[in-house]
Copies of this chain bind each other. A is one copy, B any other.
Amino acid sequence: MRDEYRIWEQRQIDRGIDVEWVKERIKEFKVETPSWGYGDSGTRFKTFKQAGVPRNLFEKLEDAAQVNKYTGICPTVAIHIPWDKEDDYSKVVEYAAQLGLKIGAVNPNLFQDDDYKFGSITNVRPEVRRKAIDHMLECIDIAKQVGSKIISLWLADGTNYPGQGDFRARKHWIEESLQEVYAALEDDMRLLIEYKCFEPGFYHTDIADWGMSYTFASKLGPKAQVLVDLGHHLQGTNVEHIVAFLLDEGKIGGFHFNNRKYADDDLIVGSINPYELFLIFNELVAASLDSKTASTAANIAYMIDQSHCIEPKIPAMIRSVLNIQTAYAKALLVNREQLKAAQEANDVMAAEAAVREAFETDVRPLLEMVREEMGLNPDPLKAYLESGYGEKILSRGIGGKGWE
């Protein structure tokens, strides 16, 4: 490995890359995994139950700790309320700490209660809107208890048929509701507003695209930002362009990473279109180097949100983390002076090559070296698979906690 790395390193140095800086950046980079990603989930046709799935939040944290143990970059875990509701959150914080973890974003659930059949904060019935607001306030309260600074809001509200809902009235209810929620945020907390083009609503979604999230977030104030889920766009959307636009506006607060070929398929990050993932990180790295956007870029929450229907949960999560890390590492290898020079010369071929060349670079020698320097096994997935943990948890049996 040493020889391979040395040759690799030399090639990068020859390209004008500051490899030490790259390594530092990689070591600082963190990804948050979601508690619900360790549980069972499926399609509307079937949820295939897996053996060994955690039965409660504590076991989810144990699984998340494994991901952190082998990747070294996943010290926080997002939670979903009420899926992860507990009576005493101090025990959660304490147990997480024992495992080397902290609680990350708190995610309200506004789509599974029967009351939300026709919407939560967009419901025509004031008592349902009240309930939904109260639930979000409860989540802020939980966030305070667990030391979380982020409320990550996916509003599943929408309609299935033309005429079913009054678009503008519903918009007003969102504005009203979020104002109340926003007012309850502490100064160092943020509300991240997700958008999604469809599903579960099949005619319209109340927060359908980044423009709507952005409008709501802008009206609320600086503590509200947009959350970009990679699976929530229509086919053909140039996501990296949206990311760059929001970075420039100081209005992107985080990601929900996953991948898709069709709709919100929630597959392993980078498994379908790795180049798109890289191009997104290319924008993030560029923005981090620009004084105008650096602070926004520095505060982005990198979170995974997937649904592992047929694959084992922990390996799928490790794979996703590694794919994100890979895309980030490649983006760090873009020679930005070269790229800028090509852009300024309108040299299309050279500019494209500057970006693609970084993507084509095999960063495995680099990442293996970084992991060694971090005291990790250079092959995290192999190390996990050989650890016996996957077999040990089979004793949990079938029927662990899923999306309900």
Chain A residues with a Cβ under 8 A of chain B? 3-4, 7, 11, 41-46, 48-49, 111-112, 114, 117-118, 124-125, 156, 160-168, 171-172, 197-200, 202-205, 208-212, 214-215, 234-238, 240-241, 244-245, 247-249, 260-263, 265-268, 271-276, 279, 282-283, 286-287, 290, 293, 307, 309-312, 315-316, 319, 326, 339-340, 342-344, 346, 348-349, 351-356, 359-362, 364, 381, 403
Contacts of A267 in B (CB 8 A): 160-161, 202-203
> Contact at B248–A355, with CB atoms within 8 Å?
no
Q: Shortest distance in angstroms between A398's beta carbon and chain B's nearest beta carbon? A: 10
Contacts of A283 in B (CB 8 A): 167
Contacts of A163 in B (CB 8 A): 282, 339, 342-343, 351-356
Selected from B164, B245, B272, B381, the residue in CB contact (under 8 A) with A343 is B164
Q: Shortest distance in angstroms between A357's beta carbon and chain B's nearest beta carbon? A: 9
Contacts of A265 in B (CB 8 A): 160, 198, 202
| Distance, CA A241 to CA B361, complexed state (A) | 28
| Distance, CA A346 to CA B165, complexed state (A) | 8
> Contact at A48–B114, with CB atoms within 8 Å?
yes
> Contact at A262–B199, with CB atoms within 8 Å?
yes
CB-nearest residue of chain B to A41: B44
| Distance, CA A390 to CA B99, complexed state (A) | 55
> Contact at A208–B45, with CB atoms within 8 Å?
no
Known A-B contacts A163-B351, A340-B166, A360-B364; the reply to A262 vs B236 at CB < 8 A is yes
Selected from B4, B118, B275, the residue in CB contact (under 8 A) with A7 is B4
> Contact at A167–B355, with CB atoms within 8 Å?
no
Q: 4 closest pairs, A vs B, by CB?
A: A211-B211, A163-B355, A362-B362, A202-B265
Q: Shortest distance in angstroms between A19's beta carbon and chain B's nearest beta carbon? A: 16
CB-nearest residue of chain B to A344: B124
Contacts of A124 in B (CB 8 A): 343-344, 346
CB-nearest residue of chain B to A44: B44
| Distance, CA A203 to CA B349, complexed state (A) | 14
Contacts of A244 in B (CB 8 A): 167-168, 171
Which among A165, A209, A238 has the highest number of chain B CB atoms within 10 Å? A238
> Contact at A209–B211, with CB atoms within 8 Å?
yes
> Contact at A111–B45, with CB atoms within 8 Å?
yes
CB-nearest residue of chain B to A46: B112
CB-nearest residue of chain B to A175: B248
Q: Shortest distance in angstroms between A48's beta carbon and chain B's nearest beta carbon? A: 5
Known A-B contacts A124-B343, A316-B349, A348-B310; the reply to A268 vs B161 at CB < 8 A is yes
Contacts of A240 in B (CB 8 A): 162, 167
| Distance, CA A236 to CA B23, complexed state (A) | 36
CB-nearest residue of chain B to A199: B43
> Contact at B352–A161, with CB atoms within 8 Å?
yes
Contacts of A48 in B (CB 8 A): 114, 117
Contacts of A245 in B (CB 8 A): 167-168, 171, 211-212, 215
> Contact at A263–B263, with CB atoms within 8 Å?
yes
| Distance, CA A267 to CA B204, complexed state (A) | 13
CB-nearest residue of chain B to A360: B362
Q: Shortest distance in angstroms between A131's beta carbon and chain B's nearest beta carbon? A: 15
Contacts of A168 in B (CB 8 A): 244-245, 247-248, 286-287, 290, 293
Known A-B contacts A44-B43, A237-B234, A283-B167; the reply to A271 vs B352 at CB < 8 A is yes
